[in-house]
């Protein structure tokens, strides 16, 4: 006999017809609202009862400026029912408790909770999070500023991916007082990101409709599931924002390997990273995303133009130009126009997810054919300039696209770095397979000055080699034995991986 499940839509509103997907999803979510509830907060707990107590206490005390529903999930805690009893005693009326009888991973509970989500926003809080004043209302302000913002994550302690802000405090009370002064809504601190480590993350429910449920891909057992979520959010047409004006405490020392053996942690990282790369056809969640050079930021000063224009050339997934855009927000409320050129098709979709201008994929010799001459304020060339087959031609083409007074940021690979040196003297295992033209600094700098540009070296990055103490001593002695006049300077130069340059186009240059 067939089982009939009756579903009542009493209280729901029929969705309005919309001309675009964003409004359509927004109208559906609005019709599903339950009274005046704005958000649903999910707390996911597995053991660690004391941390769970602190987490819930902070939510009840510091989320009084938002109407919310509380979903408490005991994800198979083996503490003889202590977590479940604590959840039952939580003094909050609008709460729902889920008790999962065994722990099959953090994704498992999400299969059962979908129908309990109410409001336009969903915040997911692990039980080792302590929230602070205005944490949720600040993130809601960010989401309400743009219908295409689908994911917002606060700054925190104990986190990677340049999301950390370390605060000094001696007590819970002192921490909350510091956070209250920090958590002031500030549009200039809203940074768009390609990937986020999800801690206290808030989503719009219309974004969740677009990326699908459950939020996390169940194929990722643990690590890189948050990278995957961010990629799916962006590739569905929504923005992922790091809320630099909001800070929470992550009560978990991941650097010390808390609750996880070092070998297990490393294995999980390696498997997750490989799975991500397999899913996204060769995109590496670290190398293709964390490819920005922070020393460039002080040289981004804004222009007198109403709208700054940015071009990224071979910037992989686009973090360099996204960070320039974030920096420009400190000087203007206008949205810069971002365009990109890449020679690798695997990056095209992610560049399109962040760019509001032209995105082109072609060979280096066709660069300038895709863009209007003298139209960009900032150009960032992500590939080392001497890895191009015709470095000066690429640079001249880029300069033809730059406005007078505009800036290009470029890196120059050290063709005679420590890897090359070790190879020359016969040390096995060291070899740079990628093409690199020998272009000494003085030759490069003189060539740029010769075409009427100002150039300055703004820094350098050193090669990090995994050599033990004995190998480092051997290397030092080998260099010293070669009778260089100043072997310390030679050793210093060998360790440089590349130099970073700012090139400014002068008005006299056509």
Higher local confidence (pLDDT), 386 or 462: 386
The answer to whether 110 and 86 have CB atoms below 8 angstroms apart is: no
Neighbours of 224 (CB within 10 A): 24
| CA 216 to chain CA centroid, nearest Å | 17
pLDDT at 421 over 80: no
- The pLDDT, as a whole number, for residue 510 is 47
Q: Output DSSP code: residue 109.
A: G
Looking at residue 56, its pLDDT comes to: 98
Q: Which tokens is 33 given? A: 């609202």
- On average, the pLDDT of the chain sits at 90
pLDDT 10s digits, 388-409: 999 999 999 999 999 999 999 9
Residue 447 has pLDDT above 60, yes or no: yes
Of residues 196 and 471, the one with the higher pLDDT is 196
**Is 70 exceeded by the pLDDT of residue 33?**
no
479 or 434: which carries more pLDDT confidence? 434
Q: What is the per-residue pLDDT for 302?
A: 77
Q: Is the pLDDT of residue 445 over 80?
A: yes
- pLDDT of residue 455 exceeding 80, the answer is yes
For the ranges 33-47, 242-256, 475-489, which has the lowest average pLDDT?
A: 475-489
Surface-to-core class of residue 227, CB atoms within 10 Å of its CB (0-12 exposed, 13-18 middle, 19+ buried):
buried
Q: Whole-angstrom Cα distance, residue 335 to residue 328?
A: 9
- Contact assessment for residue 290 and residue 296, using Cβ atoms and an 8 Å cutoff: no
Average pLDDT over residues 292-309: 87
pLDDT of the residue at 2: 85
CATH architecture of 294-505: 3-Layer(aba) Sandwich (3.40)
b (16+ CB within 10 A) / e for 346-359: ebebbbbbbbeeeb
What angle, 0 to 180 degrees and rounded to 10, lies between the N-to-C axes of helices 82-89 and 49-62? 20
Token pair of 433 as six digits? 């397979």
Specify the pLDDT at position 206: 95
- What percent of the chain is modeled with pLDDT above 70? 91
DSSP letters, 320-362, are: HHHHHHHHHTTT-SSPPEEEEEES-GGGHHHHHHH-SS-EEE-
pLDDT of residue 508 exceeding 80, the answer is no
Question: Is 90 exceeded by the pLDDT of residue 261?
Answer: no
The size of the chain, in residues, is 510
- Higher-confidence residue of 442 and 8: namely 442
| CATH annotation of 21-257 | 3.90.550.10
Q: Collapsing DSSP states into helix, strand and coil, what is residue 74?
A: strand
Is residue 109's pLDDT more than 50?
yes
> What gap in Å lies between CA 93 and CA 80, rounded to an integer?
25
Per-residue pLDDT for 285 more than 50? yes
Give the domain ranges of the chain.
21-257, 294-505
Q: CB count, 10 Å around CB of 181?
A: 8
pLDDT for 204 beyond 60:
yes
CA atoms of 142 and 196, how far apart (whole Å): 16
Residues 14-28, mean pLDDT to the nearest whole number:
88
Report which of 250, 244, 240 is spatially closest to residue 185, judged by C-alpha positions.
Answer: 244
Q: Which residues of 125-161 are buried (b: 16+ CB within 10 A; e: fewer)?
A: bbbbbbbbbbbbbbbbbbbeeebebbbbbbbbbbbeb
Note the pLDDT of residue 228.
97
Q: Using 50, 70 and 90 to split pLDDT, how confident is the model at 483?
A: low
pLDDT on residue 306: 72
pLDDT of 42 above 80: yes
Q: Could you tell me the pLDDT band of residue 486, with boundaries at 50, 70 and 90?
A: low
Q: Read off the pLDDT of residues 158-193 as tens digits, 9 standing for 90 and up.
A: 999 999 999 999 999 999 999 999 999 999 999 999
């Amino acid at each position: 006999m067939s089982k009939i499940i009756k579903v009542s839509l009493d209280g729901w509103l029929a969705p309005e017809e919309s001309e675009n997907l964003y409004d359509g999803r927004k109208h559906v979510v609005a019709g599903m609202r339950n009274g005046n509830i704005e958000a649903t907060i999910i707390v996911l707990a597995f053991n660690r009862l004391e941390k769970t107590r602190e987490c819930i206490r902070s939510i009840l005390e510091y989320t009084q400026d938002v109407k919310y529903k509380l979903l408490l999930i005991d994800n198979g805690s083996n503490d003889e029912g202590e977590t479940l009893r604590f959840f039952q005693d939580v003094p909050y009326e609008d709460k729902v408790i889920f008790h999962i009888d065994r722990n099959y991973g953090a994704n498992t509970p999400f299969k059962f909770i979908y129908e309990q989500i109410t409001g336009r926003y969903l915040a997911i809080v692990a039980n080792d999070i302590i929230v602070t004043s205005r944490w949720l209302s600040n993130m809601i302000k960010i989401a309400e500023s743009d219908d295409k913002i689908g994911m917002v994550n606060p700054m925190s302690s104990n986190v990677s991916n340049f999301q950390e802000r370390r605060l000094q405090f001696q007590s819970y009370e002192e921490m909350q007082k510091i956070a209250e002064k920090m958590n002031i809504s500030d549009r200039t601190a809203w940074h768009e990101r390609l990937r986020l480590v999800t801690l206290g993350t808030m989503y719009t429910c219309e974004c969740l409709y677009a990326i699908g449920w459950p939020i996390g891909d169940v194929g990722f057992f643990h690590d890189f599931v948050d990278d995957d979520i961010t990629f799916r959010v962006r590739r569905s047409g929504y923005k992922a924002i790091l809320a630099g004006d909001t800070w929470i405490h992550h009560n978990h020392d991941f650097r010390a390997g808390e609750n996880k053996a070092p070998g297990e942690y490393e294995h999980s990282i390696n498997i997750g990273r490989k799975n991500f790369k397999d899913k996204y056809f060769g995109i590496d969640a670290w190398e293709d995303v964390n490819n920005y050079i922070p020393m460039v930021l002080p040289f981004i000063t804004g222009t007198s133009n109403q709208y700054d224009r940015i071009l990224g050339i071979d910037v992989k997934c686009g973090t360099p130009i996204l960070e320039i855009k974030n920096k420009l927000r400190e000087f203007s409320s206008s949205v810069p126009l971002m365009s990109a050129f890449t020679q690798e098709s695997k990056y095209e979709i992610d560049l399109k997810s962040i760019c509001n201008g032209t995105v082109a994929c072609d060979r280096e010799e066709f660069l300038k054919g895709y863009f209007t001459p003298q139209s960009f304020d900032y150009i960032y060339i992500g590939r080392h300039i001497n890895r191009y087959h015709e470095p000066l031609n690429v640079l001249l083409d880029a300069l033809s696209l730059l406005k007078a007074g505009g800036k290009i940021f470029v890196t120059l690979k050290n063709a005679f770095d420590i890897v090359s040196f070790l190879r020359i003297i016969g040390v096995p295992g060291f070899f740079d397979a990628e093409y690199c033209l020998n272009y000494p600094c003085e030759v490069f700098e003189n060539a740029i000055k010769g075409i009427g540009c100002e150039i300055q070296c703004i820094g350098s990055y050193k090669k990090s080699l995994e050599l033990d103490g004995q190998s480092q001593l051997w290397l030092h002695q080998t260099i010293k034995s070669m009778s260089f006049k100043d072997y310390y300077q030679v050793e210093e130069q060998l360790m440089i991986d590349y130099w970073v340059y700012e090139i400014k186009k002068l008005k006299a240059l056509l």
